[in-house]
Amino acid sequence: MTDRILNLLGLAKRAGMLTTGEEKTIESIQRNRAKAVFLASDAGSSTAKKVRDKCNYYEIPLIDDYTNEALSSATGAPNRVVLSVTDPGFSRKMLQLKEKGK
């Protein structure tokens, strides 16, 4: 795993700055705690629509470049399709890396 964004995702998980799972992530979006949201590129259509709609409405950046397998590997938890970064520093760096092309 050489991708710097995924490395930061793992670090955010260990630091307790990550919310995982569809319900908890949507709750963190609605409560304005989510600073960036990751959605697996192979997520189900209903989950993807729900998360995209929430991110658009609450103006939260959405990153959907990674598969379920990549997100699960980065966080060390199986079957992670949706997660949110709750720390502004981590999310800012991840978004900068995404703009640069990792």
Res 3 pLDDT > 80: yes
Q: Find out whether 86 and 16 touch, Cβ atoms under 8 Å.
A: no
Q: How far is CA 32 from CA 17, 59, 68, 72, 95, in A?
A: 14, 10, 24, 24, 17
Domain ranges of the chain: 4-100
Would you identify the CATH topology of the domain 4-100? 60s Ribosomal Protein L30; Chain: A; (3.30.1330)
Please write the tens of the pLDDT for every residue from 36-71. 999 999 999 999 999 999 999 999 999 999 999 999
Task: Look up the pTM and report it.
Answer: 0.93
Report the pLDDT value the prediction gives residue 101, as an integer from 0 to 100: 80
The alpha carbons of the chain give a radius of gyration, in whole angstroms, of 12
